Structure 1
Amino acid sequence: MLDAPTAPLRLALVAEDPLARGALSRALSDQGGELLMVASGTQAELESAPGDAPDVVLWDTGLRLPENDSRVEVPDLGAPVLALVADEAAGEVALTAGARGLLFRDVGPAPLVAALLAVARGLTVFDTALAEVRAAPRASSTATATPGPDSLTPREREVLALLAEGLSNKAIADRLSISEHTAKFHVNAVLAKLGVQRRTEAVVRAARMGLVTL
């Protein structure tokens, strides 16, 4: 019996530079039917237009990211993010901000598609030249078995506060003006970072850590 055709990967492309967006879109469209571009724009545009979450986000960070700026965050679209960076400094910022993979901006279309497929499946992908960038944040983040307050993004803190109110995924989505799929993604991320399996356990642990007040 023939295998059923695999649905294309739903991709959101985030880039501040319209020329970069156009070039990436054209390059990826030439790689066959493995990818389906469902959204393309700047980070502010896509985050302010809630809809169904993609399977993976490609984030072109541009020529330079501000170093040591804790305000830099990956695009909040409810999917893992693969960042394209110009140098190691930008790679470290993107990784600290929450990117699941790092590649240089001059990566070829074929390896880029392969990396996107891997990140969408929950894997991490790094250019070999960025190996040391990969090691530094991971070493600091695993120094303690219990996640601290800083391990949660601002959006995850919002979701955690709504979990403490006993809201369902749908209610969280309505409150934050995001899709239910995106809300579920953030809830699962909160559970994983707090090392629990259930929503009630997350609330109890967060209260003990001082993240929420019951």
Structure 2
Amino acid sequence: MSEAVRTLIVAEDPLARAGLAALLAQTAGVVVAGQVGEEEATAAAHALVGVEAVLWDLGWTPDGHLSALIQFIEAHATPVVALLADPALAGAVRAAGVRGLLRRTARAEQLAAVLQAVVYALVVFDESLLAGPPTATTLPTAEPVEPLTGRELEVLRLLAEGLSNKEIAHALGVSDHTAKFHVNAILAKLGAQSRTEAVVKAMRAGLILL
């Protein structure tokens, strides 16, 4: 997988598609490969080269859109992250086989992190859309080489939000050098080569949940 996930945006509302594309353009972890309505989703998934994930907006009234989502998932192996407005329908959407489930109000960095995660075979659900405890699982489970300190876990959560070293330093009230030291320590302990890989491995190990 490339560092930036090639993502197909699916939404019936063209304004929603444009809004999601603009939101994802703010992140370094995602490239929008295309924007289509539900009826064009299957054709686009076949036609577009290298689509790695699908971001599917179910709109404000998703009842009538679930069948299209189910048909797509049954026909394609490409992981789908669904955006949902009504928590009451979360169970039905999860049962459809989505790999990620977030609220329609999710921030750009959350969208990017989950799109990255599902490409690595993770399942990531917003805890507010679950009746039980938060879920972020995959097999096999990856554990850090060494346990992270409390401060490193703080830094890790800020990494997951997409903050730079300078922004992490400001948020924690430490120097840029100290922030960089913690980031490097996290990468070493998780055996990660990049910040993105560190976040993905941390979610896989259950260290952080969105």
Q: Pick the TM interval, shorter chain.
A: 0.5 to 0.7
Residues 21-43 of structure 1: CA deviation (Å, up to 9, x unaligned): 111100100112x2111121112
Cα gap change, 1:134 to 1:54, in 2 (>3 Å): farther
Secondary structure at 2:62's aligned position in 1? coil
Task: Tell me, yes or no, if structure 1 residue 55 matches structure 2 residue 52.
Answer: yes
For the aligned residue pairs, the C-alpha RMSD in angstroms reads 2.6
1:29-178 correspondence to structure 2 within 5 Å: 29-32=25-28, 34-49=29-44, 50-51=46-47, 52=49, 54-66=51-63, 73=70, 75-76=72-73, 77-132=76-131
TM-score by length of 2: 0.55
1:84–1:102 contact (8 Å) kept in structure 2: yes
Q: Structure 2: where are the runs of 5+ without partners? A: 135-210
Cα gap change, 1:121 to 1:62, in 2 (>3 Å): same
CA distance in 2 between counterparts of 1:88 and 1:7 reads 31
Q: Which amino acid aligns with 1:41?
A: V
Secondary structure at 2:18's aligned position in 1? helix
CA distance in 2 between counterparts of 1:84 and 1:116 reads 12
Residues 78-134 of structure 1: CA deviation (Å, up to 9, x unaligned): 411010000122322211222111111001111111111111111011111122178
Task: Tell me, yes or no, if structure 1 residue 18 matches structure 2 residue 6.
Answer: no
TM-score by length of 1: 0.54
Runs of 4+ in 1 over 6 A off after TM superposition: none
Q: Which amino acid aligns with 1:121?
A: Y
Cα gap change, 1:38 to 1:70, in 2 (>3 Å): closer
CA distance in 2 between counterparts of 1:84 and 1:94 reads 10
Cα gap change, 1:23 to 1:92, in 2 (>3 Å): same
What percentage of residue pairs aligned between the two structures are identical?
34
Q: Which amino acid aligns with 1:115?
A: V
Cα gap change, 1:104 to 1:61, in 2 (>3 Å): same
The number of residues matched between the two structures is 129
1:85–1:105 contact (8 Å) kept in structure 2: yes
